[in-house]
Chain A
């Protein structure tokens, strides 16, 4: 079946079998491998992308369901001028160890900050509950999200 969707602001058309997930479509057909296959059943959050402004597990969305919708992946977060404050703070604080959870973690955090520019520690933890990190870097991840939020609000100077 033919699927047309907007990915990182650009319209893309692909032809895939109906049983293709959005995750496979992004990875195999559009070569956007930032979203990872961790569990493939919606538990780990490594495949998180933002679809029409909300964070979803792309392994639980069929390609056909994504048709006509707007998808934002980790590849669309940085542009030529700068990368996103979340990416910068995740790097500066050493929040990413093996890095496999990183893209999903950052995108979930982005949706949180889009909705709530000044989240409490508890709100950050609650928002990231669906993104697992086995290197157990949660403390630094939560710190990085808080710092990025402060930077985006202008409360903290970019380093």
Chain B
């Protein structure tokens, strides 16, 4: 390698120098011809030129060279490190917090507790989530204090010196239990049910009366963490003019900017978010997490503050996919045509709303499946429990209900002695079908794709 450098420096022509640079590709210059370049407008339902072609990513080269700078790969002069203390208890009243021992430790620059946050609540639908829990703890992953120190290890050690006195309260973990009036309230003041959706179409009770057979089953899904390879990460720098710059792995920076300016109680034009390359999001990095904490620690210390989630933080504190409990009741005629379906969805939202309301709506619309059903009734509830909060994740409520209605269809097919594919073909949407909410659907190819798929993997042979 040394030889190459010498040769290049001494003898290389400009052309060769360019070639050397090009070999290293610094900065990344994507090869233009590697993109699909045919841009003719395709005819309807034909394959577009993009399908089946390889496209390389413009950032792929730097990824492979290990030169991509994610947040944790960045360093700013004077930068210090923040760590967050988690409650470890799922429901409690905070009687007192004592950070004095932590602050005395050499190397510790600042601490932060909930009471110091100007407006200690945020959330995309309802502002029900504290940045740092101040009076009440709602789940075991709640932040209760933060420390900024010159090294990560010092910050971590300082967390152990923070003394918090809790008064444990009765938690509720099961969403069905939480719906009962007698259940402990996760957030004070009213029911644990914080969102309800209903879809009604036709007359479902009459449909059941007319049905040849009626099937009922309950399905449930579990909580799923996104586990992005890169944990949540941010660096905050509060400058001398009272403006804060945040380098963040946040996916929705505009929304995040509004939330940050609200929690910090500063005008939005003083908040600048620089979105960096993100090491996996999958919906889990759509909301702010520690950004206001880092901003305030930076304000206190006058230093840039970096905060990286540990893998443990990631699991207990960041959003997850909603667990659902789904009751399905379906009436069919002798041919397997669905005449009525009743669905009840309970979405375990965890401690905070986050995107649960939106997720619930999506799940509700999709819960009947891609099938023509004249008589339909869907009711759906989002419920607080004292668990890690749930939020956006790939599919947004669709995978849960899909698991339920397709499992349900299989049960029906077995009982009626109809081929499972045939049962779906008899009921599936066709051109001009109306969705449960009355949307008239166009370009409906569900039957074609089912047939094609069945053909491709030899369904006839396989199902014998």
Contact = CB atoms under 8 A, between A and B. Distances in A.
Given A80-B23, A134-B226, A135-B280, A96 B64 contact: yes
Interface string A94-111: 111111111100100000
B18 interface: no
A39 B24 contact: no
B351 to A, nearest CB: 24
Interface stretch (B38-46, B66-74, B289-297): B66-74
Interface in A65-90: 73-75, 77-83, 86-88, 90
Nearest to B229: A100
B150 to A, nearest CB: 12
Interface string B177-221: 000000000000000000000000000000000000000000000
Interface residues of B, number: 43
Nearest to B63: A99
B225 to A, nearest CB: 10
Interface string B43-57: 000000000001111
Interface in A92-131: 92-103, 106
B153 interface: yes
Contact of A102 (B24, B34, B56, B63): B63
B421 to A, nearest CB: 26
A94 B311 contact: no
Contact of B65 (A27, A87, A95, A100): A87
Contacts of B69: 33
A149 interface: no
Given A36-B72, A80-B20, A135-B280, A102 B1 contact: no
Interface string B4-20: 11001000000000001
Given A78-B24, A134-B280, A87 B64 contact: yes
Contact of A99 (B23, B55, B59, B281): B59
A99 B68 contact: yes
A92 to B, nearest CB: 6
A132 interface: yes
A145 interface: no
Given A80-B4, A98-B230, A92 B56 contact: yes
A83 B23 contact: yes
Interface string A18-37: 01000000010000111111
Given A90-B60, A91-B61, A134 B23 contact: no
A90 B64 contact: yes
A42 to B, nearest CB: 11
A46 B226 CA distance: 16
Contacts of A5: none
A94 B4 contact: no
Contacts of B308: 37
Contacts of A77: 65-66
Contacts of B112: none
Given A96-B60, A134-B227, A41 B55 contact: no
A74 B62 CA distance: 11
Contacts of B57: 91, 94, 96-97
B411 to A, nearest CB: 29
Nearest to B4: A80
A40 interface: yes
A94 B396 CA distance: 26
Nearest to A43: B311
Contacts of B23: 78, 80-83
A146 interface: no
A91 B56 contact: yes
Contact of A92 (B34, B63, B226, B280): B34
B4 to A, nearest CB: 4
15 contacts: A33-B73, A34-B66, A38-B230, A41-B311, A74-B65, A90-B63, A94-B54, A95-B60, A98-B280, A99-B63, A99-B277, A100-B230, A106-B64, A134-B227, A134-B282
Interface of A: 9, 19, 27, 32-41, 44, 46, 73-75, 77-83, 86-88, 90-103, 106, 132-135
Given A83-B64, A91-B56, A98-B277, 7 more contacts: A9-B1, A40-B310, A80-B5, A94-B60, A98-B230, A103-B66, A106-B64
Closest 3 CB pairs of A and B: A34-B66, A99-B63, A100-B279
